[in-house]
Amino acid sequence: MPGIITQDTPSSMPIAIIGIALRAPGDGADSENHAHFLKQDFKVFDAPFFSITPKEAKAMDPMHRMLLETTYEGFENAGLTLDAVKGSKTSVYIGSFTNDFSSLNVRDNEGPSIYHATGLSSSLASNRLSWFYDLKGPSMTIDTACSSSLTAFHLACQSLRAGEASMSVVGGANLMFGPDMSILLGAAKILSPDGKCQMWDAKANGFSRGEGIGITVLKPLNAALRDGDTVRAVVLASATNEDGRTPGISLPSSAAQRELIRTAYAQAGVDPAETGYVEAHGTGTQADDPLEASAILETVGKDRTSDLYVGSVKTNIGHLEGASGVAGIIKAALVVEGGLIPQNLWFEKLNPQINLPENVKIPLELSAWPHDGPRRASINSFGFGGANAHVVLEDAAHYLERMGLKGRHATVIEPKLPCLTNGHTNGNGTTPTAAKPKLFVLSSYDQDGIQRTTQQLQTYLSSKSHNDQPDTPSLLSNLAYTLSTKRTTHPWKSFAITSSIPDLVASLASCPAASRSSDYANAPRPAFVFTGQGAQWFAMGRGLSIYGPFRASLAAADATLRALGCAWSLAEELGRPEGESRLVLAEFSQPACTALQVALADLLVAWGVRPAAVVGHSSGEIAAAYCAGAITRAAAVKIAWLRGRFAGTVAERNGKGAMMAVGASGESLKERLAGLTAGKAVVAAFNSPKACTVSGDEAAVDELQDILTVEQVNSTKLKVEVAYHSPHVEVIREAYETALAGVGTVDCTQNIPMFSSVTGALIQPEKLGPSYWVDNLVSPVNFAGALSALLHHSKEQKRSHDRRTAFASVFVEVGPHSALRSYVLDVFKNEDNSPTCPTPPCSAATTTAAVNETPADASSMLVDLPPYAWNHALSFWEESYLSREHRLRPTPRLDLLGYRVPDSPEPVWRNFLRCGESPWIREHRV
């Protein structure tokens, strides 16, 4: 059935790769340039990020430290925040089989601290990840030599299929600190003298060791689709087995590998002849290469009608040993996702022991996927003890299509040579959006991290601006979405607002200084200030229709209006052109403004901006009460709809009324109002010490405006035809209250205080019954009093140091446009610790709690963003002189004398004379 995955057995349940992170040698293509070592200094570590003291950091194996950082990068790449993974049933499987750091530290028995036992133990490679990230699934470190991490990958898939875990972190690690393991492997004659992995080449002479850390994040495919994760590749099957008895313990078994491959494909239920790429183990040894080639050619390479490419990442970055399997997985996942197969290095002539059919190729240049349809890849791995592992992958787009499923993925549908796609695809079901300004939120654990982050993004965006980017609006939307909702919010934050890549690059160079909030759960939150009548305009809210929560809220309000018997459509009215708009009429403007404000509140809350308190001006109190949790959305819409219906009859009964905003206090107008001759007008709203609103007969309001113009006092008539908050509306008091009889409050669990502009004080939710809404329509608006009460309340909360109760220090106006900002500033002008009045939600992102902006539903998570910008300013390294002498050996080895013996009071050398190293010895027999 389309849309549902059904599997016969748990072993065939598809697994999604949703996150990838890899640290590999950057110069692996040149064996003379740093060989296959990581560029990163293994001594540096962002210890404060992980709350690790310097003393403990120095005792930790740098592999464990890098695993902590790379796992975070894997979660980031999967779009998972720290809060999202905390406490989850996530398993951890890490493959590793070398332990250089432990060897260095045990040379001096006087050196260990209380942290070395946990810092050196291989079990902590996995267990420490589970501890720090609070992951509750199985956790273990796997050692099957070079197949360790692919075996770990198989065990992770098993844990997901068995229900032991809901998500899994799988990885591998290999770092080299001393010469010991290299000496052992060299003695075993399996290392390449020239430092190259020459897979299947006639001149193959061993492998070259490499360093690296790799992490993948896995979920059952059903769960990944349910959670909206971006699927990088689908795991069709995984399997492991053992060679058993072979002619030598380190000699692989072609028959065992062949049987394993067949088992994996039987589980996957697909034809191996349809696979387009095999990531071979490919160590480049004369013994191993022919045996592995035979296993691959007799299974995946058999009975083919299309080309098959076989490669190995070891030719590019060296043999990562315990991490080689996960490196192969990551390469293969990127190959099926991008549709491009990287070049194998160092190949010149095929090993004569390998018979390669014409349609099986080794990629000698960047190559396109060999055929249309599903892109399937195999990953093969084996250890020198005989432990084998095999995994079968398929690209996400084709898998979802053939299974009748919908979900997010990053598959490049039409790959092009030679450009790289960097994860931008046309396969997510997304459509380009208009180039509108976007909010880009940056955060870091430390203050300087904001600068490191901006530098990373500038480099990233500069590369995009230099490439062909026809979908710039989509890229910016996806970037805003990823930064806001798919990255963990840290204490230090900044932001940028722009609508183009060049502008964003420039903005990042001068974005606001990082600000800090020490405790986000209890940080100051904004007060929501809801605009009253008169701010409406014909196109209000249209720019926000791209946001799902906003659209859904308006649709719910529209449905409520229809249920009440409303003869017109809210959506249709908000979409009318200016000449046809009826929003000037109370019947339309009242419910439309309230519905808009409710939708805005829903959107802000969906973004993570939750108010510490609410206050409304006039009819704005309806949406404020909804936001405080005192009334339902349906009740808010009904209150506003009835208000508009009854207000629409006022002009017929009392004549046309008018309202006017005045740049003077209400007290200062008393004399002028009393002296009006054309009619009656009153102060309808006390907005601030410097501003009020007048309401009454239109002729009286016009007369007052003429007087104020002569006196050079600012005044603006509002777009209303009803004289609210004046004797004009007394005629509908009784009828309005009767109609509201069925409207009541609800049990309020949000604990968001509301400050009434009717009473000018804090009001309890149970007081917001029908009589209150009548008073809200008829009585003067004491907005200044409500604001003052809110500020005093916030100061008390701050003074009490009650961390359970947030206080407001930022005010976000919620309405069709900004109409109250000057009033807020006037009220608090002479107060201490005056709040700010930002444009939502930008300043709120840096001053208060985290903003989780969710742009258009079409937005997708970027999978190629730079990882978190770590603070690697500090070095954590402690080494005894015994270890340092052994590792660095200040005196070189001499052919005749050998190595100087450390700690000897006299010059003493130790040497083994070997004819292979010094052939001249043969000529000097005694």
CATH number of domain containing 200: 3.40.47.10
| 462: number of Cβ within 10 Å | 13
Residues 867 and 822 in one domain: no
Q: Which residues of 260-287 are buried (b: 16+ CB within 10 A; e: fewer)?
A: bbbbbbebbebebebbbbbbbbbbbbeb
State the pTM of this model. 0.75
Residues 823 and 879 in one domain: no
Locate the DSSP E strands across 698-818. Answer: 715-717, 754-755, 762-763, 808-814
Query: Which residue would you say has higher pLDDT here, 165 or 508?
Result: 165
What pLDDT is attached to residue 834? 47
Residues 750 and 822 in one domain: yes
Q: With left for phi above 0 and alpha for psi between -120 and 50, is residue 618 left, alpha or beta?
A: left
- Residues 854/548, Cβ–Cβ less than 8 Å: yes
Residues 354 and 497 in one domain: no
In-domain check, residue 675: no
The domain spanning residue 437 has which CATH number?
Answer: 3.30.70.3290
**Rounded percentage of the chain residues whose pLDDT exceeds 90:** 65
Residues 649 and 787 in one domain: yes
Q: Work out the burial of residue 235: count CB atoms within 10 Å of its CB; fewer than 13 is exposed, 13-18 middle, 19 or more buried.
A: buried
Residues 440 and 311 in one domain: no
In-domain check, residue 761: yes
CA distances from 785 to 543, 791, 818 (A): 33, 10, 20
Domain boundary among 788, 822, 847: 847
Residue found by looking up tokens 């080494």 in the block: 879
SS (H, E, C) 618-657: CCHHHHHHHHCCCCCHHHHHHHHHHHHHHHCCHHHHHCCE
pLDDT tens for 584-597 read 888 999 999 999 99
Amino acid occupying residue 646: F
What pLDDT is attached to residue 921? 81
pLDDT tens for 245-297 read 999 999 999 999 999 999 999 999 999 999 999 999 999 999 999 999 999 99
pLDDT tens for 111-160 read 788 999 999 999 999 999 999 999 999 999 999 999 999 999 999 999 99
- Residues 375/336, Cβ–Cβ less than 8 Å: yes
SS (H, E, C) 12-67: HCCEEEEEEEEECCCCCCCCCCCCCCCCCCCCECCHHHHCCCHHHHHHCCHHHHHH
The domain spanning residue 830 has which CATH number?
Answer: 3.40.366.10
What pLDDT is attached to residue 685? 97
475 phi/psi in degrees, rounded to 5? -60, -45
In-domain check, residue 687: no
* Averaged pLDDT for residues 726-743: 94
Please, which pLDDT band fits residue 546 given cuts at 50, 70 and 90?
Answer: confident
Rounded-to-integer distance, Cα 487 and Cα 626, Å: 30
Most confident of the following: 330-339, 426-435, 455-464, 655-664: 330-339
User: 173-177, 619-623, 640-644, 796-800: lowest mean pLDDT where?
Assistant: 796-800
What's the domain range around 729? 525-656+721-847
In-domain check, residue 790: yes
Closest C-alpha to 346, from 199, 191, 205: 199
Rounded-to-integer distance, Cα 436 and Cα 497, Å: 10
Query: Which residue would you say has higher pLDDT here, 914 or 248?
Result: 248
Q: What is the count of structural domains for the chain? A: 4
Closest C-alpha to 757, from 621, 590, 598, 613: 621
In-domain check, residue 2: no
Residues 544 and 649 in one domain: yes
Rounded-to-integer distance, Cα 812 and Cα 851, Å: 13
In-domain check, residue 422: no
In-domain check, residue 678: no
pLDDT tens for 599-633 read 999 988 877 788 889 999 999 999 999 999 999 99
72 phi/psi in degrees, rounded to 5? -60, -40
CA distances from 326 to 101, 150, 151, 291, 375 (A): 22, 6, 9, 22, 19
Rounded-to-integer distance, Cα 457 and Cα 653, Å: 63
Rounded-to-integer distance, Cα 129 and Cα 141, Å: 11
Mean pLDDT of the chain: 87
Closest C-alpha to 371, from 415, 444, 307: 307
Residues 497 and 547 in one domain: no
Domain boundary among 788, 821, 847: 847
CA distances from 117 to 130, 138, 142, 209, 357 (A): 18, 21, 19, 27, 53
Please, which pLDDT band fits residue 754 given cuts at 50, 70 and 90?
Answer: very high
CA distances from 391 to 140, 215, 288, 394 (A): 20, 16, 19, 10
Closest C-alpha to 173, from 126, 119, 239: 126
Q: Six-digit token pair at 400?
A: 């979802």
Residues 630 and 769 in one domain: yes
Residues 403 and 435 in one domain: no
Rounded-to-integer distance, Cα 81 and Cα 487, Å: 6
Residues 833 and 860 in one domain: no
Residues 446 and 400 in one domain: no
Active site positions, annotated = 146, 281, 319
In-domain check, residue 317: yes
